[in-house]
Protein backbone atom coordinates (compact mmCIF):
# COMPACT_ATOMS: atom_id res chain seq x y z
CA UNK A 1 0.00 0.00 0.00
CA UNK A 2 2.88 2.34 0.83
CA UNK A 3 4.49 1.56 -2.51
CA UNK A 4 1.27 2.34 -4.37
CA UNK A 5 0.91 5.59 -2.46
CA UNK A 6 4.50 6.51 -3.22
CA UNK A 7 4.02 5.82 -6.93
CA UNK A 8 0.83 7.87 -6.94
CA UNK A 9 2.58 10.75 -5.19
CA UNK A 10 5.56 10.63 -7.54
CA UNK A 11 3.29 10.51 -10.58
CA UNK A 12 1.27 13.45 -9.30
CA UNK A 13 4.42 15.52 -8.73
CA UNK A 14 5.70 14.70 -12.21
CA UNK A 15 2.42 15.64 -13.83
CA UNK A 16 2.22 18.92 -11.93
CA UNK A 17 5.85 19.94 -12.44
CA UNK A 18 5.69 18.88 -16.09
CA UNK A 19 2.78 21.17 -16.91
CA UNK A 20 3.33 24.76 -18.00
CA UNK A 21 2.48 27.16 -20.79
CA UNK A 22 5.39 27.98 -23.07
CA UNK A 23 4.27 31.34 -24.44
CA UNK A 24 3.14 34.66 -23.00
CA UNK A 25 -0.49 35.71 -23.13
CA UNK A 26 -1.19 37.76 -26.23
CA UNK A 27 -3.98 38.86 -28.52
CA UNK A 28 -4.15 35.35 -29.97
CA UNK A 29 -5.51 34.08 -26.63
CA UNK A 30 -3.34 30.93 -26.48
CA UNK A 31 -2.54 30.03 -22.88
CA UNK A 32 -3.24 26.29 -22.53
CA UNK A 33 -1.22 24.37 -19.92
CA UNK A 34 1.05 21.82 -21.64
CA UNK A 35 2.61 18.48 -20.62
CA UNK A 36 6.37 19.01 -21.03
CA UNK A 37 8.31 16.32 -19.21
CA UNK A 38 11.27 16.03 -21.59
CA UNK A 39 13.89 18.78 -21.13
CA UNK A 40 13.80 21.39 -23.86
CA UNK A 41 17.55 20.97 -24.42
CA UNK A 42 17.09 17.28 -25.25
CA UNK A 43 14.39 17.99 -27.80
CA UNK A 44 16.40 20.79 -29.43
CA UNK A 45 19.43 18.49 -29.61
CA UNK A 46 17.50 15.64 -31.23
CA UNK A 47 15.62 17.82 -33.68
CA UNK A 48 18.79 19.75 -34.53
CA UNK A 49 20.57 16.53 -35.42
CA UNK A 50 17.62 15.48 -37.57
CA UNK A 51 17.63 18.89 -39.30
CA UNK A 52 21.37 18.70 -40.01
CA UNK A 53 20.91 15.22 -41.43
CA UNK A 54 18.24 16.59 -43.75
CA UNK A 55 20.56 19.38 -44.85
CA UNK A 56 23.35 16.92 -45.62
CA UNK A 57 21.04 14.79 -47.73
CA UNK A 58 19.85 17.86 -49.64
CA UNK A 59 23.44 18.99 -50.21
CA UNK A 60 24.35 15.56 -51.55
CA UNK A 61 21.35 15.64 -53.87
CA UNK A 62 22.20 19.23 -54.87
CA UNK A 63 18.74 20.42 -53.87
CA UNK A 64 19.67 22.77 -51.01
CA UNK A 65 19.38 26.52 -51.61
CA UNK A 66 19.72 26.18 -55.38
CA UNK A 67 17.75 29.35 -56.11
CA UNK A 68 19.48 32.39 -54.51
CA UNK A 69 16.55 34.72 -55.24
CA UNK A 70 14.05 32.37 -53.61
CA UNK A 71 16.33 31.84 -50.61
CA UNK A 72 16.70 35.60 -50.16
CA UNK A 73 12.94 36.06 -50.37
CA UNK A 74 12.19 33.32 -47.83
CA UNK A 75 14.95 34.52 -45.52
CA UNK A 76 13.69 38.11 -45.62
CA UNK A 77 10.15 37.04 -44.74
CA UNK A 78 11.38 34.69 -42.02
CA UNK A 79 13.62 37.31 -40.44
CA UNK A 80 10.73 39.78 -40.20
CA UNK A 81 8.71 37.13 -38.41
CA UNK A 82 11.61 36.14 -36.15
CA UNK A 83 12.01 39.80 -35.14
CA UNK A 84 8.59 39.55 -33.44
CA UNK A 85 9.00 36.28 -31.53
CA UNK A 86 10.02 38.04 -28.31
CA UNK A 87 6.39 39.09 -27.90
CA UNK A 88 5.51 35.46 -27.27
CA UNK A 89 8.54 34.30 -25.27
CA UNK A 90 11.60 36.19 -24.04
CA UNK A 91 14.17 33.53 -24.90
CA UNK A 92 13.13 32.99 -28.53
CA UNK A 93 15.09 35.91 -30.08
CA UNK A 94 18.30 34.21 -28.84
CA UNK A 95 17.55 30.86 -30.48
CA UNK A 96 19.98 29.66 -33.15
CA UNK A 97 17.58 30.46 -35.99
CA UNK A 98 18.35 29.09 -39.43
CA UNK A 99 16.50 29.32 -42.74
CA UNK A 100 16.95 27.02 -45.73
CA UNK A 101 15.06 26.22 -48.94
CA UNK A 102 15.00 22.77 -50.50
CA UNK A 103 14.17 22.19 -54.15
CA UNK A 104 11.20 19.88 -53.73
CA UNK A 105 7.84 19.81 -55.48
CA UNK A 106 5.90 19.19 -52.27
CA UNK A 107 3.85 22.03 -50.83
CA UNK A 108 5.48 21.91 -47.44
CA UNK A 109 7.41 23.81 -44.78
CA UNK A 110 8.37 23.23 -41.17
CA UNK A 111 10.19 24.80 -38.23
CA UNK A 112 12.10 22.46 -35.94
CA UNK A 113 12.25 23.06 -32.16
CA UNK A 114 14.84 25.74 -31.54
CA UNK A 115 14.15 27.66 -34.76
CA UNK A 116 15.37 25.56 -37.70
CA UNK A 117 13.20 26.53 -40.69
CA UNK A 118 12.85 24.65 -43.98
CA UNK A 119 10.66 25.71 -46.90
CA UNK A 120 10.13 23.57 -49.99
CA UNK A 121 10.28 25.31 -53.37
CA UNK A 122 6.98 23.72 -54.40
CA UNK A 123 5.19 25.79 -51.78
CA UNK A 124 6.41 28.94 -53.50
CA UNK A 125 6.03 27.89 -57.10
CA UNK A 126 2.96 25.66 -57.32
CA UNK A 127 0.50 28.07 -55.74
CA UNK A 128 2.28 31.26 -56.85
CA UNK A 129 2.40 32.29 -53.19
CA UNK A 130 2.54 35.96 -52.30
CA UNK A 131 4.85 37.22 -49.55
CA UNK A 132 1.83 37.56 -47.27
CA UNK A 133 0.83 33.95 -47.92
CA UNK A 134 4.36 32.68 -47.35
CA UNK A 135 4.43 34.64 -44.09
CA UNK A 136 1.23 32.87 -43.07
CA UNK A 137 2.83 29.44 -43.62
CA UNK A 138 6.17 30.26 -42.02
CA UNK A 139 4.48 32.09 -39.14
CA UNK A 140 2.30 29.04 -38.52
CA UNK A 141 5.38 26.79 -38.40
CA UNK A 142 7.31 29.18 -36.15
CA UNK A 143 4.30 29.16 -33.83
CA UNK A 144 4.65 25.38 -33.46
CA UNK A 145 8.25 25.93 -32.33
CA UNK A 146 7.35 28.77 -29.95
CA UNK A 147 4.68 26.61 -28.32
CA UNK A 148 7.10 23.65 -28.23
CA UNK A 149 4.49 21.36 -29.72
CA UNK A 150 7.24 18.95 -30.74
CA UNK A 151 8.46 18.68 -27.14
CA UNK A 152 4.89 18.20 -25.94
CA UNK A 153 4.30 15.42 -28.47
CA UNK A 154 7.57 13.73 -27.58
CA UNK A 155 6.76 13.86 -23.85
CA UNK A 156 3.38 12.27 -24.48
CA UNK A 157 4.92 9.63 -26.76
CA UNK A 158 7.48 8.65 -24.14
CA UNK A 159 4.82 8.33 -21.45
CA UNK A 160 2.67 6.17 -23.73
CA UNK A 161 5.59 3.94 -24.67
CA UNK A 162 7.52 3.67 -21.43
CA UNK A 163 5.19 4.90 -18.70
CA UNK A 164 5.46 7.82 -16.35
CA UNK A 165 7.80 5.96 -13.96
CA UNK A 166 10.31 5.18 -16.69
CA UNK A 167 10.26 8.80 -17.82
CA UNK A 168 10.83 9.92 -14.25
CA UNK A 169 13.79 7.54 -13.98
CA UNK A 170 15.27 8.93 -17.18
CA UNK A 171 14.84 12.44 -15.88
CA UNK A 172 16.54 11.53 -12.62
CA UNK A 173 19.47 9.84 -14.36
CA UNK A 174 20.12 12.68 -16.76
CA UNK A 175 17.68 12.46 -19.64
CA UNK A 176 19.62 14.94 -21.76
CA UNK A 177 22.63 12.65 -22.01
CA UNK A 178 20.52 9.55 -22.60
CA UNK A 179 18.51 11.08 -25.41
CA UNK A 180 21.46 12.84 -27.00
CA UNK A 181 23.14 9.50 -27.62
CA UNK A 182 20.12 8.34 -29.62
CA UNK A 183 20.78 11.03 -32.20
CA UNK A 184 19.08 12.12 -35.36
CA UNK A 185 17.16 8.90 -35.97
CA UNK A 186 15.07 9.30 -32.84
CA UNK A 187 14.61 13.01 -33.50
CA UNK A 188 13.38 12.28 -37.00
CA UNK A 189 11.05 9.53 -35.84
CA UNK A 190 9.48 11.61 -33.09
CA UNK A 191 9.36 14.99 -34.81
CA UNK A 192 8.28 14.00 -38.31
CA UNK A 193 6.16 10.94 -37.47
CA UNK A 194 3.97 12.46 -34.78
CA UNK A 195 1.05 14.34 -36.35
CA UNK A 196 0.03 17.65 -34.85
CA UNK A 197 -3.16 17.51 -32.86
CA UNK A 198 -6.19 19.60 -33.70
CA UNK A 199 -5.45 21.77 -30.66
CA UNK A 200 -1.85 22.28 -31.75
CA UNK A 201 -3.01 23.34 -35.18
CA UNK A 202 -5.52 25.78 -33.74
CA UNK A 203 -2.82 27.33 -31.55
CA UNK A 204 -0.35 27.57 -34.43
CA UNK A 205 -3.00 29.18 -36.61
CA UNK A 206 -3.78 31.81 -33.97
CA UNK A 207 -0.22 32.65 -32.96
CA UNK A 208 0.98 32.46 -36.56
CA UNK A 209 -1.67 34.94 -37.67
CA UNK A 210 -0.74 37.37 -34.90
CA UNK A 211 2.96 36.93 -35.61
CA UNK A 212 2.48 37.68 -39.32
CA UNK A 213 0.38 40.75 -38.56
CA UNK A 214 2.99 42.12 -36.15
CA UNK A 215 5.65 41.58 -38.84
CA UNK A 216 3.65 43.63 -41.36
CA UNK A 217 2.01 40.84 -43.37
CA UNK A 218 -1.69 40.93 -44.16
CA UNK A 219 -3.48 38.39 -41.92
CA UNK A 220 -6.18 37.87 -44.55
CA UNK A 221 -3.57 36.05 -46.63
CA UNK A 222 -3.90 33.03 -44.32
CA UNK A 223 -7.38 32.50 -45.75
CA UNK A 224 -6.31 32.76 -49.39
CA UNK A 225 -3.36 30.47 -48.64
CA UNK A 226 -5.54 27.63 -47.35
CA UNK A 227 -7.98 28.13 -50.20
CA UNK A 228 -5.14 27.81 -52.73
CA UNK A 229 -3.74 24.75 -50.97
CA UNK A 230 -7.04 22.90 -50.93
CA UNK A 231 -7.65 23.48 -54.63
CA UNK A 232 -4.31 21.99 -55.70
CA UNK A 233 -5.55 18.41 -55.82
CA UNK A 234 -8.72 17.68 -53.82
CA UNK A 235 -8.40 13.93 -54.40
CA UNK A 236 -4.85 13.85 -53.04
CA UNK A 237 -4.12 16.77 -50.68
CA UNK A 238 -0.63 18.31 -50.57
CA UNK A 239 1.77 16.85 -48.01
CA UNK A 240 1.42 20.02 -45.94
CA UNK A 241 -2.31 19.39 -45.57
CA UNK A 242 -1.88 15.75 -44.57
CA UNK A 243 -0.70 16.92 -41.15
CA UNK A 244 -2.27 20.40 -41.31
CA UNK A 245 -5.90 19.72 -42.26
CA UNK A 246 -7.59 22.71 -43.84
CA UNK A 247 -11.32 22.52 -43.25
CA UNK A 248 -14.01 25.13 -43.74
CA UNK A 249 -14.14 25.48 -39.95
CA UNK A 250 -10.46 26.33 -39.93
CA UNK A 251 -10.87 28.95 -42.64
CA UNK A 252 -13.84 30.38 -40.75
CA UNK A 253 -11.74 30.62 -37.58
CA UNK A 254 -9.01 32.48 -39.44
CA UNK A 255 -11.57 34.83 -40.99
CA UNK A 256 -12.93 35.56 -37.52
CA UNK A 257 -9.51 36.23 -35.99
CA UNK A 258 -8.11 38.34 -38.84
CA UNK A 259 -10.03 41.55 -37.92
CA UNK A 260 -8.75 41.29 -34.33
CA UNK A 261 -5.10 41.36 -35.42
CA UNK A 262 -5.60 43.79 -38.31
CA UNK A 263 -4.71 46.80 -36.11
CA UNK A 264 -1.32 45.16 -35.47
CA UNK A 265 -0.80 44.86 -39.23
CA UNK A 266 -1.86 48.47 -39.80
CA UNK A 267 0.52 49.66 -37.09
CA UNK A 268 3.39 47.61 -38.50
CA UNK A 269 3.09 48.92 -42.06
CA UNK A 270 2.64 52.47 -40.79
CA UNK A 271 5.75 52.30 -38.61
CA UNK A 272 8.13 50.32 -40.74
CA UNK A 273 6.51 49.57 -44.07
CA UNK A 274 6.68 46.13 -45.64
Tens of pLDDT, residues 138-151: 999 999 999 999 88
User: Is 141 considered catalytic here?
Assistant: yes
With bands split at pLDDT 50, 70 and 90, how would you rate the model's confidence at 18? low
- With a cut of 90, say whether residue 263 has pLDDT above it: yes
- With a cut of 70, say whether residue 33 has pLDDT above it: yes
Q: Indicate which residue of 98, 141, 148, 210 is catalytic.
A: 141
- With a cut of 70, say whether residue 24 has pLDDT above it: yes
- With a cut of 60, say whether residue 231 has pLDDT above it: yes
Question: Among 240, 27, 66, 55, which residue's Cα sits nearest to residue 136?
Answer: 240
The conformation of residue 64, written as its DSSP 8-state character, comes to B
Tens of pLDDT, residues 175-191: 544 454 444 455 555 55
Q: Residues 126, 129, 134, CA angle at the centre, nearest 5°?
A: 120
- With a cut of 60, say whether residue 91 has pLDDT above it: yes
Contact 158, 38 (CB under 8 A): yes
19 - beta bridge partners? 35
Contact 74, 119 (CB under 8 A): yes
With bands split at pLDDT 50, 70 and 90, how would you rate the model's confidence at 29? confident
The pLDDT score that the predictor gives to residue 229 is: 83
pTM value > 0.85: no
Contact 223, 261 (CB under 8 A): no
Amino acid sequence: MKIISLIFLMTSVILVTGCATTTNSSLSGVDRSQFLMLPASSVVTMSGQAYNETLEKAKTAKTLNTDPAMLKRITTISNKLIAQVGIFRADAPQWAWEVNVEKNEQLNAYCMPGGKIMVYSGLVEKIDATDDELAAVIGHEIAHALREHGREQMSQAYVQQYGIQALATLAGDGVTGVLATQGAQLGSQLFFALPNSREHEREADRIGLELAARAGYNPNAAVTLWQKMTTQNPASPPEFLSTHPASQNRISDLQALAPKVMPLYDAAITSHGK
